[in-house]
Structure 1
Amino acid sequence: MKKIKFFLLSLFLVLFISCGGGSAKISANLNPQNYPFLGSGKFEGSYFPTQSFRECTPEEVGMDSKKLVKVYNYAANPNIKTEGLIILRHNYIVFETYLNGFTPDTLHESYSIAKSISSCLTGIAIDKGYLTDENVFVKDFYPQWDDLPDSDCRNKITVKNLLTMTSGLEWNEHDYYGDTSQNDAFIMYQSADNYLEYVLSKNCIHQPGSFFNYSSGDSMLLSGILKEATGEDVEQFAVENLFDKIGIERHYWQRDNAGNVITAWGIGLTLRDYARFGLLYLHKGNWDGNQIVSREWVEKSTSPAYQNINWYGYSFWLMPVFSDYQNYNLPSDIYLAWGIHTQQIFVIPDYDIVAVRLGNDNDPEHDDWVETEFLKLVIDCVKDK
């Protein structure tokens, strides 16, 4: 996980103007034409962006425009590769910017944000009775494991274990940005025609539920389970039961050469559509009065699944993953969906905020993007909680 770096805020703030560069000192009253990333208009009451988003000035929802300019400068730092950033409060856009050739219409690769979306689909499948609960055994969906010896711990792996990265299957996914020759996710991507067969061939080396090991293989096994349980193609199930319900009209979802939907990565959405998914979870699975996924599932997903693994829920990351979060006085209930190259959906329940950052960071272990610093800047913008 990323090393936490110390960031010194400068005493004097220099502003980059929009995506095109330029600089200026902050004026007493910000001219929206000079700061097009800031929202405009009035707050017109509660709504959900099923059809379209509303925006308003930050001050309309108790946020400080000048401080949001600091957020822009942080995200637009040329030492990192931010491609899109959006911040919503009370469901209204107060900040939105696109950088480095990224546009509002770009379908951006989710990477492992797809794991969180697949977790949501698992909850929906349980809600609809396709799965009894998350404690069902994985072997019941894969005949490849029918004749395992009784001593083989693959017999005990549950859907919950897949969601929480505790299957115990042998898997190496430690190096994304250097030597990937031993990284199972890259090996699977580059050489396996059938990702499910690749994962199913792995041995179990830890008792399920006893050891956290981040694994795209665990998430991939959800693909076959969802297809078998629902009787539907996973992508179609997502369209009918999630995407259409919250206004996501355009997407792609990659498959392996055998046609299996890749439930570990491979979704493409716009920046705003990632924000829609964040809003669904901010509202505990409820969208404009319709319970898309149960409140209970959202709460399980965004809480520690095991006492000794307090940084991860059901395919969502929790604040203890950042060792310094308490130094910034950040709320402990913030959670995020997180993909490589720093794709992140932050949900900040205490402040009714969703922030989505998409990028193409080639070395996030050593660049200038630090999640806790970013979150502190965003929360410092709030004048009225």
Structure 2
Amino acid sequence: MINVAKLEEMEARLPAYPSLYGICILRHGQLLYERYFHGCTAETLMDLRSATKSFTSAVLGTVHPVQQNVQNSLLDGLKGWHSERSYDLEDLLKGREDGSLKRTMTLHHALSMTSGFQWEVGRKFGEKHIGGLHHSEDWLRFILEQSMHGELRGHFQYCSLDSHLLSIYLSDTTGKSMALLAEERLFHPLGIQRYTWEADPQGHTQGHVGLSMAIRDVAKLGQLYLNLGMWKGSRLLGESWIRQSWTAHSAEVTEHGRYGYQWWNQIIQGTMVHFALGHGGQYLFVVPSKNLVVVMTSNPKVSRWKNPKHLLASFILPAVQHSE
């Protein structure tokens, strides 16, 4: 049974979250609750911001399902550069003190954001120099020109550079953009037909942001992970990949939990919750012990907002706390 009174109590509080665009709750794969605000509907493509990162991880998991592959050198995968890349990566690294460190960066480091880039980030993960990336003519060149330090390697540092490197790696090693791989391996099987995913100037799908999608379709990725990679009798993702994505690979970050492979993992109200997080209040929550998937989307252009994550802790989890 669901504690309907708790959900009604939550609904009464929703006006206190002025940036909230929509909320969708699935239990046992069935739509339990859905509301939209500010002119948004079930058809609205929501800008997921950094929640995009969890989709990037999922696409990589369809290409590299075997756990040991994450120890592959990331830059080795970029040496077969596209024809439009007019420079040799070795030329960029030659003479740099951090050249050897960058050569030993693995997929695991990028996935877990433990690569060692020196990257300035605020308390809410605002990235001071992300505009420099977005305004550069060559994003890969910009990334490889950023400093990397050995003492930072292995320690979590929120860094969108890592996420975009994963996309470049995918396109270089497969010859297909990450968006096309997502279409073939995830979106088409999941029945996701309407979305947009922006690319960098070289045509690489943005690995850290840029994905816009309807809330119900975002929930499909959550349900796929809840089902440990199975969808309507077909396996789209390996169970081991999902478990690695939900494994903490670094120390705890205050208010956010611990980072896996482009997924956050946190105990909330005594319950383990895995989630994708984007600026402004974009969330995809997966709660295996409660067979629960929750999507929240919000205005992505705000600088300050009331975090809708509190709705999960205060109302949604209590509503299913004692139900099967």
Q: Shorter-chain-normalised TM-score: which range? A: 0.7 to 0.9
Larger Rg: 1
The within-5 A match list for 1:218-233 is: 218-233=162-177
Q: Does 1:90 align with 2:90?
A: no
Alignment of 1:1-385 (within 5 A): 62-74=1-13, 76-127=14-65, 133-143=69-79, 144-146=88-90, 148=94, 152-174=100-122, 183-189=128-134, 191-207=135-151, 209-306=153-250, 311-319=258-266, 325=268, 329-331=269-271, 333-360=272-299, 362-364=302-304, 367-369=305-307, 371-382=309-320, 383-385=322-324
Q: CA deviation at 1:68?
A: 1.1
Equivalences, count:
307
Q: Distance in 1 between matches of 2:309 and 2:178?
A: 32
Q: Aligned in 2, Cα 1:176/1:318: closer, same or farther, shift over 3 Å?
A: closer
CA contact (8 A) 1:137 1:159 kept: yes
Structure 2: which 5+ runs fail to align? Answer: 80-87
1:162, 1:221 within 8 Å by CA — same for their partners in 2?
A: yes
Paired AA for residue 266 in structure 2:
M
CA drift at 1:174: 2.4
Distance 1:260 1:173 in 2: 24
TM-score after normalising by structure 2: 0.87
Any idea what SS the aligned residue of 2:294 has? strand
**TM-score using structure 1 length:** 0.74
> In 2 relative to 1, CA 79–352 (structure 1 residues): closer, same or farther, beyond 3 Å?
closer
Distance 1:273 1:247, change over 3 A: same
Summarize deviations over 1:147-194 as a string: whole Å, max 9, x none.
Answer: 5468631121101111111110122232779xx7x71212212x2122
The higher relative CO (CA closer than 8 Å, separation ≥ 6) is in 2
Contact 2:199 2:206 in 1 (8 A): yes
In structure 1, what is the equivalent of residue 83 of structure 2? none
In the TM superposition, what is the alpha-carbon distance from 1:375 to its structure 2 partner? 2.5
Contact 1:254–1:262 under 8 Å retained in 2: yes
Which stretches in structure 1 are left out of the alignment for 5+ residues? 1-61
* Partner deviation per Cα, 1:300-342 (whole Å, 9 max, x = no partner): 001112467761100001116xxxx4xxx331x2110001011
More strand by share: 2
Which stretch shifts more, 231-240 or 206-215? 206-215
Counterpart-to-counterpart distance in 2, 1:243 and 1:377: 31
> Aligned-pair distance for 1:95?
0.3
Equivalent AA in structure 2 for residue 317 of structure 1: W
Q: SS of 2:170's equivalent?
A: helix
Give the % identical residues: 25
Give the structure 2 partner of residue 12 of structure 1.
none
